[in-house]
A and B are shown apart, each in its own frame.
Chain A
Amino acid sequence: MKKVAMTGNVAVANAMRQINPDVCAAYPITPSTEIMQQFSTFVANGQVDTELVTVESEHSAMSACIGAAAAGGRVMNATSANGLALMWEMLYIAAGNRLPIVLSCVNRALSAPINIHCDHSDSMGARDSGWVQIYAENAQEAYDNTIQAVRIGEHPDIHLPVMSCMDGFIISHSIENLDLLDDQQVRDFVGPYNGTAYPLLDVANPVTYGALHLQDYYIESRRQLHEAHKRAKNVVIEVGREYGKLSGRSYGLFETYKMDDAEIGLIALNSAAGTAKVVVDEFRAKGIKAGLLKPRLFRPFPYLEIADALKGLKALCVLDRADSFGAAGGPLFIEVRSALYDLQKRPVTINKIFGLGGRDLGLDDLRKVFEELTTIVDKGPKSLYEYITVRE
């Protein structure tokens, strides 16, 4: 293992180099461009065996990934924002065909207005597509998640595509010190590909992919996808544990930070969790029992485990870097609030939508949130959900 300084994008590209997928489809979009750009250099220099398909759109990127995975090999790709939106149709088809494609999603705001900076509107919009979704706080986690995503998706219990997310620019373009595994360690960890049960290239045993399922079969097919997601949770735990033995960094469904005796807490995905930890420490220093829960696995959403981890709280704020316009809060809030419903005693729970289009989330913003949490236990919340980090 070696300590290196690299951006989130370069870390993910290096994970891909070490994984050495059979086919990648590349189409540039900020801020994920650098991943496939870096990876193209690995291809050009013969450092990987990958066939790189430089497609003419993200829709074709995911279509080529689907064809390649159905053909019978390991497939990876990266995109952001509008690129993911253009893939939308094909995301569902990749999942429906149970093809374990790994997609690195570098989170960026969707248009309009056009913006290139971070929020989670892209991957959150894809949350019902049938993909497993994992989120990363920093470049180290993005690297580690990319490697684990291969094993998770290809696991014979599930055979599902996996979206590995990190924050655009904040992580993708920031240089960080991180540990890379040795190339051989990664190759041994991911192992030979075995993720396509019925490869098209097995011409002696012809199969039909993508048949028309009408009223008599469609729902059973979707039910199978539903059941696969139920099994995915244990696969994520198992792979995370095994990865821990290899790297010294174990992963589970989520990370809790000072939650054991916490009375007020935050939930935040991705890089905002790093900012939140600083503020948790400040409040702890003042004798206030603050804590943080950082979800890692968002699909499937481990609602029982998350509810259990939150049951001791008196007040909770869910931070959403995406809006679900017209809904009762952001997408993470809706999930968490639903998860809390069955608790005997529920924390008072509020939602803040923040940081859309890359608006910075400062320590002061979170200090205010924690201060609000200390008051709402008795008084009740002044509003269920609202925007912060916004001009009023």
Chain B
Amino acid sequence: MAAIKLKELSKKPDLLTGGHRMCAGCGAPIVVRQVLMAIDEPVIISNATGCLEVATTIYPYTAWKLPWIHSAFENAAATISGVEAMYQSLKRQGKIPADQKIKFLAFGGDGGTYDIGLQALSGALERGHDFMYVCYDNGAYMNTGIQRSSATPFGADTTTSPAGKVLQGKTQKRKDLTRIALAHGVPFVAQASPHNWKDLITKVQKAMSIEGPKFMNIIAPCNRGWRTQTNDAIALSKLAVDTCFWPLYEVVNGVATVTYNPKKNRRPIVEWLKPQGRFKHLFKPENEWMLAKFQELVDENWRSVVGMHNASHPGETIDPEEGKSW
């Protein structure tokens, strides 16, 4: 794998073109562009219903300069399975050239992946298609107007888990989809964040060098749903990582590696929660316990991810308490 140079990346064509009609400040197109930048071969995309699909393909326009298919919400993985199966079949039959290399990607939001698309994702991972599924996780059904999903963080105020007089936002914790994908025994699973483009692109390049099913979960801030500013997607993704809410790690052929340890940059979770309007109610005095619980959930998850890393790298262990200076 060649070293990643920003200058070289900037020369690559935009396969998701400008004027794609996603909201100003949306994290999803940044994620998509970084993923596509990392791939040299031709790419075919299957896109689940959601913001990314709806905004980018308003007929008679399309923002995609590559072959792209959307069929429904819950089936991006099943749809790309069919595309990949046809590629394998035609290649085996000599109907397309043997040296024609194509990479197959599926993109879905957290609603289309953690929830309604989980079965199709699981099936495609288990069958072993040569593809990568990328979930851009913005933590709710943003396209339909900010409804809670199983990726929505604990306590978040959404239109179906509103903070009211009795209930204070989402009562449940998040589902750990990355670990569910990992449980399929696939050769590559990773979490990434668009603020750390070098890490994200390295992971995609590594994934593309591996044959078989791959899964990446990438945080994608949504200023509409998170009730934040349009210019803070990158700052908030960085904070998500530095608070250990969104650990950057990969598991390649069973070897788990934390690819970024915040160390002295580590921040308490309140610093990520505070700028987001969806967590405003957590800062009421009577909800102090929720902030404490949120921090506990984050710490528990970080310890667990670090535990996987330490088991894989007994010589280079990480102390999960490191950097916790508050």
Contact = CB atoms under 8 A, between A and B. Distances in A.
A66 B72 CA distance: 11
B83 to A, nearest CB: 4
Interface stretch (A154-162, A211-219, A235-243, A264-272): A211-219
A103 to B, nearest CB: 14
Counting chain B CB atoms within 10 Å of each CB, which of A207, A208, A209 scores highest?
A208
Contacts of B62: 208, 211
B65 A22 contact: no
B67 A213 contact: no
Contact of B65 (A23, A59, A206, A209): A206
Contact of A64 (B70, B82, B100): B82
B57 A93 contact: no
Interface stretch (B120-128, B238-246, B313-321): B120-128
B89 A73 contact: yes
Contacts of A207: 67-68
A217 B82 contact: no
Contact of A57 (B69, B72, B79, B123): B123
Contact of B59 (A25, A54, A212): A212
A93 B46 CA distance: 14
Interface stretch (B2-10, B90-98, B196-204, B212-220): B90-98
B78 interface: yes
A200 B44 contact: yes
Contacts of B77: 60
B54 interface: yes
Contacts of A57: 119-120, 123
B90 A90 contact: no
Contacts of A60: 75, 77-78, 81, 119-120, 123
A213 to B, nearest CB: 5
A51 interface: yes
B78 A68 contact: no
A315 interface: no
A11 B200 CA distance: 52
B67 A201 contact: yes
Contact of A49 (B42, B79, B92): B92
A70 interface: yes
B78 A55 contact: yes
A355 B78 CA distance: 36
A67 B89 contact: no
Interface string B52-69: 011001111110111111
B99 to A, nearest CB: 13
B119 A68 contact: no
A50 interface: yes
Given A206-B65, A209-B69, A64 B57 contact: no
A100 B81 CA distance: 18
B88 interface: yes
A130 to B, nearest CB: 14
Interface residues on B, range: 35 or more
A90 B75 CA distance: 10
B28 to A, nearest CB: 16
A305 interface: no
Given A60-B120, A203-B42, A211-B58, A70 B81 contact: no
Given A90-B75, A209-B69, A66 B82 contact: yes
B85 interface: yes
B102 A201 contact: yes
Contacts of B70: 209-211
Counting chain B CB atoms within 10 Å of each CB, which of A23, A67, A73, A213 scores highest?
A67
A201 B74 CA distance: 23
A23 B85 CA distance: 7
A177 B91 CA distance: 38
Interface in B227-270: none
A385 B27 CA distance: 59
A68 B75 contact: no
A213 B70 CA distance: 12
Contact of A67 (B71, B93, B100): B71
Contacts of A116: none
B90 A22 contact: yes
A161 to B, nearest CB: 13
A207 B44 CA distance: 10
Contacts of B90: 22, 71-73, 201
B143 to A, nearest CB: 11
A56 interface: yes
Contacts of A308: none
Given A56-B122, A201-B90, A212-B53, A63 B67 contact: no
Contacts of A90: 71-72, 75
B119 A51 contact: no
B86 A72 contact: yes
A56 B120 contact: yes
Contacts of B82: 23, 25, 53, 63-71, 75
A202 interface: yes
Given A203-B67, A212-B59, A49 B93 contact: yes
Contacts of B151: none
B59 A217 contact: yes
A89 interface: yes
Contact of A51 (B47, B53, B88, B100): B88
B57 A208 contact: yes
B192 interface: no
A214 B71 contact: no
Given A49-B92, A211-B58, A212-B53, A22 B86 contact: yes
Given A54-B127, A56-B123, A60-B119, A210 B71 contact: yes
Nearest to A205: B67
Given A201-B67, A203-B100, A212-B57, 14 more contacts: A59-B120, A60-B78, A63-B75, A65-B82, A67-B83, A69-B82, A70-B83, A75-B86, A90-B71, A200-B44, A200-B69, A203-B66, A208-B69, A214-B58
24 contacts: A23-B85, A23-B86, A51-B89, A55-B78, A55-B81, A59-B74, A60-B81, A63-B72, A63-B120, A64-B78, A64-B81, A66-B82, A67-B78, A67-B79, A73-B95, A200-B83, A201-B87, A203-B102, A206-B64, A209-B71, A210-B57, A212-B53, A217-B59, A217-B60
Interface of B: 42, 44, 46-47, 53-54, 57-62, 64-72, 74-75, 77-90, 92-93, 95-96, 100, 102, 119-120, 122-123, 126-127
Interface of A: 22-23, 25, 49-51, 53-57, 59-61, 63-73, 75, 89-90, 93, 97, 200-203, 206-214, 217
